Structure 1
Amino acid sequence: MMRGLKKLADHLTTDFLGGPKPWKLAWVINFQKGATLVFLGLLMWWYENTSTAAWVYLALHGSYGLVWLLKDAHFPDPGWQNKVTIGGGLVAFFGVLFWYWVIGWLLISQPQTPIYPLPGPIWLALCISLCVLGCVIMIAADAQKFYTLKYRKGLISEGIYRRVRHPNYLGEIMIYGSFGLLAWHWLAAVILVAVWLLVFAPNMVAKEQSLSRYPEWQDYKKRSGWLLPFL
């Protein structure tokens, strides 16, 4: 099932509707990441929402977009460098990336700050901590992967990959999880779970199938976890 989802996603975001392939998938992703700060600022202006929660969300999600651009400029993911059709780029944007903006809209468009399970300052502190830790894990994982494979091909089983096989996805889940917790809306949960199950999970399964060709894979798999150590 996961393999089928991966093939479908690759087709929809690469070859959908056919025709010329004028842009890289990275350009579509970078546009969404880089425009997030402006988009959220416009939402705050339009809805006249200057609450603390809105400002914190703007800072976290907007800054994450800038962090992504810095990452892509210095150690880009080779998987995003493929050229895609116009239809494929639109599917990638409106089928996945656009929905991340919806999470911010869910928070900022509301006249009142959501009622969080914990006192507001504590909840905001938890969300900020989760986002910062997620950014560090994601950046460290992508940087290690890029520079290791640049000079030595093969299985990466040391550093931040020592106990977790997919630390980059773990970081992304923590980052967007913090955005969802800030919005505290059922639709945000649906969006995130859908992306994690339909996009992240198939990609991780495909990666493990590819890595299984290395002789040391089985030993590495036994001593590491999928997203958390020993899990």
Structure 2
Amino acid sequence: MPGGPRLIRFSTVINFQKCLMFAYLGALMWLYDDHTAAATSMAAWIYLALHGSYGLVWYLKDKAFPDPGWQHRLTLPGAVNAILGVLGWYWLFGWLLISGRGGDYPIDDKPWFALCITLVTLGSVVMIAADAQKFFTLRIQGGLITDGMFRFVRHPNYTGEMMIYLGFALMVWHWLPFVVLAWVWGGLFTANMLAKEASMSRYPEWAAYKARTRWVIPRVL
């Protein structure tokens, strides 16, 4: 967005939103404690641990092996738009759950929690492993990365992100998080993946690699 000099890195804006999540969720639990039992329910505590710690994990990842795609600078209006237009929607997830607006889970709470925790945990591992492999491999050699986390899917970092936020949405169990994810996945993620594939298509081995892999889910999508 226009509006003056580019004063702040996009990565700083993302880190701010993600690192604030733990304190934000804790503040919501304190604020709603006298208003609804959902504020201090087992689901709320699990969500605090999952989404709060994920924000800290992202920050550590960014400091250890930063993604070059997030290092460009934004104007102040651009930074505000990134928060209000995209990242801020993720804050609504926790508010819906803690304020008691989430729905009843379709099965017993315990296996449902196990499913959500598993998705977030595995998704974090896939995302971090893929980003680390890309970062350290490209420091040594250029070209396509077709082994390791990239053996079966071309965008495993997005696979991990989708698993993580699907786990969050299932914990909340409200229609709004799924609408947000459909918009982010179908719009932003798809656009980024198409741009990345257009860049990778310049390599001679691209056609063979594309033919034997999928976008984000092995043998499916």
Return the TM-score normalized by structure 1: 0.91
Question: Do residues 22 (structure 1) and 7 (structure 2) align?
Answer: yes
Which amino acid is 2:89 matched to?
A: W
Which residues of 2 match residues 60-209 of structure 1 at below 5 A? 60-110=50-100, 114-209=103-198
Q: Secondary structure at the match of 1:198?
A: helix
Q: How many residues align?
A: 215
1:6 maps to which residue?
Answer: none
Question: Do residues 33 (structure 1) and 18 (structure 2) align?
Answer: yes
Identical residues among aligned pairs (%)? 57
State the distance in 1 between where 2:84 and 2:62 align: 21
State the distance in 1 between where 2:109 and 2:180 align: 23
Which amino acid is 2:58 matched to?
A: W
Which amino acid is 2:71 matched to?
A: Q
Which residues of 2 match residues 212-223 of structure 1 at below 5 A? 212-223=201-212
Q: Secondary structure at the match of 1:190?
A: helix
State the distance in 2 between where 1:45 and 1:199 align: 34
The 4+ residue runs of structure 1 with deviation greater than 6 A are none
Superposed CA RMSD = 1.0
Q: Which runs of 5+ in 2 are unaligned?
A: 34-38
Which amino acid is 1:29 matched to?
A: I
State the distance in 1 between where 2:140 and 2:107 align: 47
Cα shift at 1:175? 0.2
Q: Comparing 20-29 with 191-200, which one deviates more in the overlay?
A: 191-200
Cα shift at 1:22? 0.6
Offset from partner CA, 1:18-42 (integer Å, 9 cap, x none): 3101110000000001000000000
Q: Secondary structure at the match of 2:88?
A: helix
Return the TM-score normalized by structure 2: 0.95
State the distance in 2 between where 1:154 and 1:163 align: 17
Which amino acid is 2:115 matched to?
A: L
State the distance in 2 between where 1:83 and 1:228 align: 32
Tell me: higher relative CO, structure 1 or 2? Use CA pairs within 8 A at least 6 residues apart. 1
Cα shift at 1:228? 1.2
1:11 maps to which residue?
Answer: none
Cα shift at 1:68? 0.2
